[in-house]
Chains A and B, each alone.
Chain A
């Protein structure tokens, strides 16, 4: 009976504490998830929302890993270890078909919210700037600019240096539609690289590596 009582007390405390666990910084969510998921993943029939953070997933060690892979430190008062991230798992029926994930990025004149639409193989099948405060936001949010990211993945962005802005491989082929908005263009690329690294750490690295199937004997 004593064990039962103790158990009850623990449940009671957890219940009371539950109301206080919701406090935290606001992350980067889709403004209208139902509409946005359907638009970004036309074949989807549903989605599941997962909330996570670097603090929850690995703390300082994970932050150091992310910064090393990004090639840059997290800056300022908003890019911190406890920023919550929202991952949308996309389903067609019961079958998972991909992910949508967004990050905040500091732009020249305001905040930028960059979402990537990923296949299960972590390849970008879409790119969406949800918000941008810039005189040239229209051109950087245009579908023509976003389509340049289709088919790219983290391996491509690993060849992009976020500090110097120098790129090789397929990322180098991404054209800035507005030379005057170079800082926001580079901010969008940094956000994309950070986004892909976070997705790799949060989702893809945690999944078992598929074992290559041996060819059946003739």
Chain B
């Protein structure tokens, strides 16, 4: 310490430039780190949204969030959209639809309080066409639309220590499935997802034929998306935009009940 009026010592004179520089370096580092964090967030959010495949999400009007319903009712209680799927496909704006089913079970053997294990039923043909960025680390997609097989995201496979050809059990249902493939890491929610063939999943949950809780929609080039959104919004759904980008050619949207 230097008292008032006291001449700084030689040692102190040597030290203070070092401390000043260290302070400058540290503050620059923090600034760069924060700037990088902001830039990363801004850059990855639209990418994550885009990789979901749907710039719009459509939920049931007045209903609680889908995840809450799943948790409270153990995968039951969702309204299914078989009739809507068929009518959507006939809409003039729609080029293609992909049905998705999300069901969950409570697994009491995850930690002390248990946890939720969630499964995605997908239609291979349309789903894979919409997500061409999904690459396999091992194996490949299901061998058939009704195969007793799963495809696991990178993180899900790591947690369950699964490799292609292994068996995976759905807790509570106690049904084993063969692991057809393990996906490469994508940095999206797909990493933690376990995919099953769409017709297989509801059968395991004792609800055969109830095929979907979400519908992804691909619009035709130049289609009037506003008209379709209005129409969807009026049939027990609400539309939540998940992308800041304005809808344009080849854009997709999702409808969930």
A31 touches B112 (CB 8 A): yes
Q: Scan B169-205; emit 1 where CB is below 8 A from any A CB, else 0.
A: 1010010100000000000000000000000000000
Most buried by A among B21, B108, B109, B137: B109
Annotate A120-149 by CB proximity to B: 1 below 8 A, 0 otherwise: 000000000011111101100100000000
Q: How far apart are A107's CB and chain B's nearest CB, in angstroms?
A: 7
Q: Which residues on the B side are within 8 Å of A19 (C-beta)?
A: 33, 36
Cross-chain contact B161 with A104 (CB below 8 angstroms): yes
With A and B bound together, what is the CA distance between A50 and B176 in angstroms? Answer: 37
**A8-B21, A15-B29 in contact; A133/B171 too (CB < 8 A)?**
yes
Q: Is B110 an interface residue (CB 8 A)?
A: yes
B137 to chain A, nearest CB (A): 8
**Are B169 and A15 interface neighbours, CB within 8 A?**
no
Partner of A111, one of B28, B138, B159: B159
The verdict on B32 contacting chain A, using a C-beta distance below 8 Å, is yes
Q: Give Cα A112–Cα B160 distance, bound, in whole angstroms.
A: 7
In the assembly, what is the distance between CA of A132 and CA of B107, in Å?
10
Size class of A's contact patch?
35 or more
Whether B168 lies near A109 (C-beta < 8 A) is yes
Nearest to A105 among chain B residues (CB) is B161
Please name all residues of chain B whose beta carbon is closer than 8 Å to the beta carbon of A132 when the two chains form the complex.
109
> Is the Cβ of A11 less than 8 Å from the Cβ of B171?
no
- Encoded as 1 (CB less than 8 Å from any A CB) or 0, chain B from 81 to 121 comes to 00000000000000000000000000111111000000000
Interface string of A143-181 (1 = CB under 8 A from B): 000000000000000000000000000000000000000
Q: Does B66 contact A (CB under 8 A)?
A: no
Q: A11-B22, A26-B158 are in contact. Are A31 and B111 (CB under 8 A)?
A: yes
Contact B161 A107 (CB under 8 A): yes
Closest residue of chain A to B111, judged by CB? A31
Q: Does A76 have its Cβ within 8 Å of any Cβ on chain B?
A: yes
Chain A: minimal CB distance from B191 (Å): 11
Most buried by B among A35, A36, A77, A138: A77
Residue of A78, A104, A138, A141 with highest tally of chain B CB at under 10 A: A78
In the complex, the answer to whether B18 meets A15 with C-beta atoms within 8 Å is no
* B110 contact set on A, CB distance < 8 A: 31, 130-131
CB under 8 Å from chain A, chain B span 145-176: 155, 158-163, 166-169, 171, 174, 176
Given contacts A77-B163, A110-B160, contact A131 B111 (CB under 8 A): yes
Q: Report if B68 contacts A (CB, 8 A).
A: no
A16-B29, A131-B111 known; A111+B160 contact, CB < 8 A: yes
Tell me the nearest residue of chain A to B138, going by C-beta: A77
Q: In the complex the two chains form, is A76's CB within 8 Å of B112's CB?
A: no
Contact residues, A66-103 vs B (CB, 8 A): 76-78
Inter-chain contact B25/A11, CB cutoff 8 Å: yes
A212 to B48, CA, bound (A): 61
Q: Decide yes or no whether B64 CB sits under 8 A from chain A.
A: no
Taking a contact as CB atoms closer than 8 A, the residue among A15, A25, A32, A138 that contacts B111 in the complex is: A32
Contact B161 A12 (CB under 8 A): no
Bound Cα distance A4, B22 (Å): 10
Q: In the assembled complex, how far is the CB of residue B186 from the closest CB belonging to chain A, in whole angstroms?
A: 15
Rounded to whole Å, the gap between the CB of A5 and the closest CB of chain B is 8
Closest-CB distance, B118 to chain A (whole angstroms): 14
Residue of B nearest to A187 (CB): B161
* Bound complex: CA A144 to CA B36 (Å): 51
Q: How many Å from the CB of A9 to the closest CB on chain B?
A: 9
The answer to whether A4 and B18 touch across the interface, beta carbons within 8 angstroms, is: yes
Which B residues lie within 8 Å of A193 (CB)? none
A36 contacts B109, C-beta separation under 8 Å: no
Given A15-B29, A32-B111, A110-B161, 14 new contacts (CB under 8 A): A8-B22, A11-B25, A16-B29, A26-B155, A36-B112, A76-B161, A107-B161, A109-B176, A110-B162, A110-B169, A111-B160, A131-B110, A133-B169, A141-B109
Chosen A-B contacts, 14 in total, with CB atoms closer than 8 Å, are A15-B29, A19-B33, A35-B112, A39-B112, A76-B163, A104-B161, A105-B161, A106-B166, A110-B160, A110-B168, A131-B110, A133-B160, A135-B169, A137-B109
Which of B's residues lie within 8 Å of A, judged by CB? Answer: 17-18, 21-22, 25-26, 28-29, 32-33, 36, 107-112, 137-138, 155, 158-163, 166-169, 171, 174, 176
